[in-house]
Chain A
Amino acid sequence: MTTLVRAADLRFAYGEGEFELFVASLHIELGQHTVVIGPSGCGKTTLAHLIAGILTPSSGQTEVCGVGISTLSDSARRAFRLDKIGMVFQQFELLGYLTALENILLPFHLAEQSPAASDFGRAQNLAERMGVAHTLQRRPEKLSQGERQRVAICRALIAKPQLVICDEPTGNLDPSAKLAAMDLLFEQVAKDGATLLMVTHDHGLLERFAQVIDMGSSR
């Protein structure tokens, strides 16, 4: 199998001994679904951000899609992230002044591209699959929590990223909305052939993943 994410001797610290994260070795295969679990403050989100290139490690290497992301400049890492990685956040982080459709198409706007007709078609298709097609012209304030998270998932998937990173995506959802959102996310990620990395503290989801990284034990 092809390795999509590779990290070795990864070290990240801030403050004077306030927080330190060390990952000796990490491999995520292409198309593999991986979950990172662990107690609060153990560095789950930090690890996800190091893999996404949002943070840069103090030492060590991170390689995503064959690119040494930790060696790239800030602007190159941003461009790489926009192109290769889709992000889903716990608080959804939809832009309040855009409609659901415009939020889904946000990666194209940020890349200063005009979404093609096929992109609009994909957005419509994703929204239909996620059950939020009827909300496309509404602003986030008019959506329920579950609808917002599904719109956020559509945004993460719209540009067909190779890696989808979800940071506590179900933290703000009620149990039924959580299961529905996860079903749709897994289905769509599998359909796109993308690799999924999820950070969560919800142990009920673990059986769905091929690889579990327990930060509580591996730290």
Chain B
Amino acid sequence: MKGLKLLAWRHLSYHKARTLLLIGCLALTGFLPSATTALTSAYQVNLAARGESTPFLVGAQGSRFDLTLNALYFRRAELETLSWGELSALRNDNDFVVIPLHLAHTARGYAICGTTPEYFELHNLAPQQGTPPLILGDVLLGAKVAAALDLKVGDALFSDPSELYDISKPPALKMRVCGLLPATNTPDDDAVFVSINTAWVLDGLAHGHDDTETIKPKLVLGKTDNQVVVSQALLEYREVTSENLASFHSHLDPDARPLHGAIISPAKGVDAAEWAKATTLAKTRFEQSRVLQFVSPHTVLSDLMSFVFRLKTFFDAFSGVLFLITGLLTALVLTLSAKLRSREMATLHRIGCSRSATIKLHLYELTFVALASAGLAFLGVQIAIQLLPDLVQTL
């Protein structure tokens, strides 16, 4: 560095605190709107990707946002349930694959998603270790859950009891980790997957216990040819093992078993035209339904993003005001600095420094500060972008 650039650099270096403060303020002013734009864009891409990978959702009538966020992001909103039987028409339609979703329970705070193997096919999820949860009591862990709880295949994981002090409610179930999913940077990383039948065991709608032929006679309250009434004192199994697996059963009509939603995806071999026709018919049918709703997650998330963008517009306006204030303060600092340097400028003038050189000196200083601020803001935005996958998941 030489000439006036050297003088400008030396002046800024000498007044380190003031220079760094100025750079920090300007960088922050540049960083905030840039980072917000990057964050919003990444959020939009993330939402759109998740929405596009889930063709349609069916759920009980209610908020379509709750249904979508619950089904796609495992947010624990209170959802009305629908029954397995209510999906019979769709299940019997060869154009559709119906993937049930049961989202009522948690294990050590992580959402349990009861579903079928088609869910993993739809989202291209293959365990990096172990197997999908095909057997009752098996759990497949998302990458973050496995890392956070330090669990591996073969370890046990207890479900969270729904009511700790109410013994009539189902107790915690000890489940076996059957597999681990790779990290996908999607909400699947934060979920615990079980078979839909395991979810119903967690509901208390299916259970296992000792054979009524072998239990103590005093626990049998009544007996007919096809029914045995047993005492509440008969303990249900709190763990599914290979020995007691066969004893698990449900007394509830299979069609009455509850779900919190279902993903509707095209069956294999269904072409785009057939799929469009089938979904149009299904939508029309569900539009007339008073108990169920048929929603396109992509549309719902687009609507949600329009809210986000509306908020961003306000934020951009605030950023504009912030930018203006920072600009004015910077101008004030530079004006005061020029006044403080009037003696120095007079000396330079007396030595023979030209007016253009004096202006250049100030411009170089301003350029250095602006470049450093822009660089810092750029670095901040890059770091934010690196952290965005996690940040977007957090949001």
Contact = CB atoms under 8 A, between A and B. Distances in A.
Interface of A: 49, 52, 54, 74-75, 78-83, 85, 87, 89, 93, 95-98, 102, 106-115
Contact of B351 (A75, A96, A102, A107): A107
Given A95-B344, A97-B15, A110 B351 contact: yes
Given A54-B349, A95-B344, A112-B3, A79 B354 contact: yes
Given A89-B347, A110-B348, A113-B3, A98 B353 contact: no
Interface string B341-361: 001100111111111110000
Interface of B: 2-4, 6-7, 10-11, 13-15, 343-344, 347-357
A78 B10 contact: no
Contact of A78 (B2, B344, B352): B352
Contact of A109 (B4, B14, B349, B356): B4
Closest 4 CB pairs of A and B: A82-B352, A97-B14, A81-B352, A112-B3
A162 to B, nearest CB: 13
Contact of B350 (A89, A98, A112, A115): A89
A115 B4 CA distance: 12
Contacts of B344: 95
Contacts of B347: 89, 93, 95
A70 B15 CA distance: 38
Given A74-B355, A82-B351, A110-B354, 15 more contacts: A52-B350, A54-B350, A75-B355, A78-B349, A78-B353, A79-B352, A79-B354, A87-B351, A95-B347, A97-B10, A97-B13, A98-B10, A106-B351, A109-B7, A110-B353
A97 B16 CA distance: 11
8 contacts: A49-B350, A75-B356, A82-B353, A97-B14, A108-B3, A109-B7, A110-B354, A112-B357
B350 A83 contact: no
Contacts of B4: 109-110, 112
A148 to B, nearest CB: 13
Nearest to A76: B354
Nearest to B357: A110
B13 to A, nearest CB: 7
Contacts of A85: 352
Contact of B7 (A82, A89, A98): A98
A188 B343 CA distance: 28
Contacts of B349: 54, 78
Contacts of B354: 75, 78-79, 110
B3 A114 contact: yes
Nearest to A112: B3
Contacts of B15: 97
Contacts of A89: 347, 350
Nearest to A85: B352
B363 to A, nearest CB: 13
Contacts of A106: 351
Contact of A81 (B351, B356, B357): B351
Given A97-B13, A98-B7, A102-B10, A109 B2 contact: yes
Contacts of A115: 2
Contacts of A109: 2-4, 6-7
A214 B13 CA distance: 46
B11 to A, nearest CB: 5
B255 to A, nearest CB: 84
B352 to A, nearest CB: 3
Nearest to A83: B352
Which of B11, B13, B354 has the most CB atoms of chain A within a 10 A radius of its CB? B354
